[in-house]
Amino acid sequence: MAIALVAIMIIPTKSNATLIPDAYIVEYSDQEQGNSILSSLDGLTHPYRIRQTYASPVFHGLSLHLSAVSPNSTNNSSITEAIDNIHPLLAYLYTHPGVRKVYPVRNVPRPQWVDRKDINETSYLPYDNNLTQLKGMYSQMNLTGAGVTVGIIDSGVDYDHPAFGGFGAGHKIRFGHNFIDPANDDEHAGSHRLENDPYDLCPGDDGGHGTHVTGIVSGLDTSKNFSGIAPNVTIGAYRVFGCTDGAAEDVVIKAMEMAYEAGCDMINLSLSVESAWPENPMAVVADRLAQKGAIVVTVAGNQGGQGVFMQTSPGSGTLALSVGSMENTFRYDKVLHASIFPNQSYPYALSTSTENMPDGKMLGIIFDQESQVIDGCTNSTLEEEAFAHDKILLLRRGRCSYDNKLEIAKQFGAVGVLFYDEAATKDNDEPLLTKTSAGTIPSAGIANTVATKLINHYHDNITSDIMLSFPSTPEKVPVKGSLRMSHFSSTGPTYELGLKPTITGIGSDVFSTLPRHNGGWGLLSGTSMAAPQVTGMAALMLEWYRRKGIPKLDPVFLAELMQNHAMHIPYNGKPEHPLRQGGGFIQPMDALQSTVHVSPGYLSFNDTDNLKNTHQLRITNGGSSEITLDLSNRVSEAILPFNGSTGYTPSEPMARDNTSANLAFSPSRVVVQPGTSVNVQVTIHLPSIESTPWQYQMYGGFIQVSQKGSSKVDASVPYFGVLGSIRALPLFDAGYPYLTSSGDMSYNDSDTFVFNATSQEEVPKIVYRLLTATARADITVVDERNTIVGAIDGSPYTYLDRNNLQKDDKQSSIKWNGRIVDPKSASNYDTESIMIQPGTYRLHMRALRLLGDPQSASSWQEWVSGPIMVVY
């Protein structure tokens, strides 16, 4: 449900997506109006700089940076002085009939992966090609992505890597653009490239994101047995991230426009800002690109531990393909071999100061008086053990620092140390991560399970020698608990209860290219790695349809195809919830070969206030013979978004329970003739509130379509809904909002804040914490008679995201500088504001409840500050 709002989006600064000061995106109602606006700007004297211009079928407008303007005084009184509420040029644009919308420009955070492992020498495949169905796509269907053009908007690419082979005509990476300021490159990389050159020249180990993404989509190095998903696609590379910091939203939008106009069939954006609002400008442009036939693939986000509504933009766009991450079935890792366990490999993690472990030394295990492995924190634990000399020791974590343990071990002649965490769970297969200082002996962490095996063997064979070796070449290691959603993958839905993510790819421990100066190859984890897998598979699917004479794929149809035929990722013996996996793990070969198609690709039953209890599915038989199909409901465990003991603070991470809904199908069995479609009514029956108290459980599952008498699922449709009224949820957390000074001195309702509006050394500040998102928040100033005298600068604030429990996003704040605008014209962004008269006032904040009706008083939650005495 979208809410009609005024033409500007104002968003208080949040740490995950900082606003770029004085930068705005202006959207025209059409290009003709835009030409008129541009002409009129030439006659204005107010300083500004145009950042980007947009004149494509998907977006008409510009972005600009406004320079500071000194206000024009109308008299000598600072009280009644007329001051522009906003920059005069921006005020002009707000009121111009040809302006459709004005957005502030956010900083898109620099792409980050969850984990990274560099691998210098390799002969590896990134996935199990049977699981991904790529083996059949290559060998049986001969698909390589030939004839498909993919735009990749990222940090650029090392196109001279052997897996790419160059740049320009005749090469895989054929065109692109470099948006980075040459001065920035000169400072951080020592050189820069031309505008049409997207080469990633950034030094350092935190670079290479775009090279890795490009390799997943299309890399090919036969000498290393490496292939990306679609090795024969044509790539357009757009470098929007430099060597430091993030990218501006208006630059990303310009890159999206350029990729579309260059003829890219699909666009991969492994980047995002945290916003589950479809109204975010990048999401808006993603939707418009999809409406024009471009396939936009982007990330669900890496906020899996932060609960529900954590989808990101541009993936929050209704038509964008938002991709979640599933665990890989294996990874390549450094391993150790122990002589007592032949043909076994055990991963280990080098300490931060260790480059490699010594090979072929005997392991020393020393027990204390309680028959526990020593922690190595005192000399006395080693002084009687002469065999510590020239050996690798096994030491417990704890009681003193790793550096202290290593120094003592070094004194007694040890050549290395393996650390383990005895407090870790007995089935923990992850190596212990250790931070050590340079100059100590080599050390590494191993998993508790490995340490336990070594200790048990030593107990039974006290005189047995244990020889260790540490091969230089990483080995393929099975991932315990694979075929599950990655813990970091973000959970939906959007704030308007749209299903996100759309689909899932493999995003954990993905092997691909890195810049040559970063070693050339490595493993990265994140939804940034899952999105390009889906992009590559979409390219193969488009190639297949083009062979059938279909030049373009409707993005909606493609999403349905992927969701219909995805593999359901399990969770506790049931399919993982659709708000975690979308339709499931993409299975492109099944999608292309199946003759059954179901539309729409998912169902949202909304919350109970807005329940649409009956939906219609359209089932199409694309085969050559009659089929009889049965429909069934396979439920998932419900998501519990809130912890009942903490009110309505979103659970981070969320919990689960067995709440489910019943579905009735009319008819439940259909006969579909070849080349025809039939409709099926799906009616939901919610559990009664008496049998299952409604606590905002997000129920869900999959509607499965199978041929009569067969256990094979021919197609499925994810669905979900919410037990409870979303608009009844509180917006403000307990104890919020509250008033402080700009220096963070708190004021309760009975305290009077004395605000010197002349010096403005300390200004009033509203601190708030949103439990749920709001589409609009108004802040007005009321006098002692409770009469509104004006709205504060910047009000209303629109499309605010909820806060979470992370330290840098636990709460937000808005300052008041003493200026007000006429409340009658505040919603229209009147061009003039005044400094408020001396007196005593209060700040009144009201916010629209999620999914609330702006016309209904009950849909707003309100707060009033204590008294603020304004003096001059």
Which residues are the active-site residues?
A: 154, 209, 528
**Phi-psi label, residue 89: left if phi above 0, alpha if psi -120 to 50, beta otherwise:** alpha
H-run or E-run covering 97: none
Contact 845, 811 (CB under 8 A): no
Amino acid at 310: M
- The whole-angstrom separation of Cα 821 and Cα 89 is 17
HEC string of 771-810? CCCEEEEEEEEECCCCCEEEEECCCCEEEECCCCCCHHHC
- The whole-angstrom separation of Cα 487 and Cα 499 is 19
**Phi-psi label, residue 165: left if phi above 0, alpha if psi -120 to 50, beta otherwise:** left
48: tokens are 């500004």
Residue 658 Cα distances to 328, 719, 733, angstroms: 27, 16, 28
Amino acid at 829: Y
Please count the other Cβ atoms lying within 10 Å of the Cβ belonging to residue 337.
17
| Dihedral sign from CA coordinates of 212, 214, 215, 216 | positive
Length, in residues, of the chain = 872
Query: Which DSSP string corresponds to 752-763?
Result: PEEEETTT-SS-
The residues near 571 (Cβ < 8 Å, ≥ 6 apart) are 484, 485, 577, 580, 636, 637, 656
How would you classify the pairing of strands 234-239 and 82-84?
unpaired
Please count the other Cβ atoms lying within 10 Å of the Cβ belonging to residue 471.
12
Three-state SS at 185: helix
Beta strands, E only, 413-520: 416-420, 443-446, 468-469, 475-478, 503-506, 510-513
Residue pointed to by tokens 């055990």: 346
Q: What is the CA radius of gyration of the chain?
A: 30
Q: What are phi and psi of 266, to 5 degrees?
A: -145, 155
